[in-house]
Amino acid sequence: MNEVTNRFINAIERLILDGKDKSERQIVLKLGMRQAQLSDAKRGSINVPKKYIDALQKEYFVNSTYIHTGEGDFYLPDNSDTEVEPTIRYAEKRGLPFYGIDFQTGVQLVISKQIQPSFYIDYLAFNDCDFYVNNNSSAMLPTVAIGDKIALKKVSNWKDNLKSGLIYGVITNNDENYLCRVKTGSNSDFVLMFDNSAEQPIELNTSDIRAVYRVKGGIKEYV
């Protein structure tokens, strides 16, 4: 095992110890890796490709220079202990647009550019997404709360790029939209799974789906 791969593996263990994520499996999913690849790296069978080191920096603010060279701080300077606080900007178009509508009932208005943003949210962790909207559904409780402002990023070639364990916004042709997790069903259809145990899974034909967005995270409302 080379030193870069060793630091990468140690970084995953440190992220869990620091409370940045719950498990090795969750981290691997977010990096776009397969668990088998990480296992091979631990055995010294392969070296970790650069794209996963870049993903570690993008997702968790782990300094890629540190992984490559062992020099510098483990976390990027502005994110060593806490993430940058979200900033709402009314006059300045900096960050991502927030549209004051509900994902389930109004996201088509955003996609078709029929409404203007209410303001912009500048938050480093989610600035690579496309936009924010409200969530008014209980389907993903307790993970996604009613009132959360969710950050959405469009998934290209979604039929081949959906990962189990992540949360998605599925936009259908008949305007019935869902926040859910996704797994492959029968005949290459998709089964929509919900964190709220009161919700039943839904099987959708791929022809019924117009677009899929990853829900990268959310900003919670506190009262």
pLDDT of the residue at 91: 67
- Asked whether the domain spanning 95-219 has the same topology as the one spanning 3-77, the reply is no
CB atoms inside a 10 Å sphere around CB 145: 14
Q: Provide the residue ranges of all domains of the chain, joining segments of one domain with +.
A: 3-77, 95-219
CB 212 within 8 A of CB 158: yes
Position 97 pLDDT exceeds 60: yes
CATH class (in words) of the domain with range 95-219: mainly beta
Digit-coded pLDDT (tens) for 124-180: 778 889 999 999 999 999 999 999 999 999 999 898 888 878 999 999 998 889 999
| pLDDT, mean over the chain | 88
pLDDT of the residue at 94: 80
Q: What is the DSSP string of 166-223?
A: S-EEEEETTS--EEEEEEE-GGG-EEEE-SSTTSPPEEE-GGGEEEEEEEEEEE----
Position 214 pLDDT exceeds 90: yes
Residues 181 and 164: their CA atoms lie apart, in Å, by 7
The CATH fold assigned to 3-77 is 434 Repressor (Amino-terminal Domain) (1.10.260)
This prediction has a pTM of 0.62
CB 30 within 8 A of CB 21: yes
Q: How confident is the model at residue 85 (pLDDT cuts 50, 70, 90)?
A: low
Which of left, alpha, beta for 138 (phi over 0: left; psi -120 to 50: alpha)?
A: alpha
Query: Distances from the Cα of 190 to the Cαs of 150, 206, 211, in angstroms?
Result: 22, 7, 13
pLDDT of the residue at 179: 96
Range list of H helices, the chain: 3-17, 24-31, 35-43, 50-60, 64-69, 103-111, 158-161
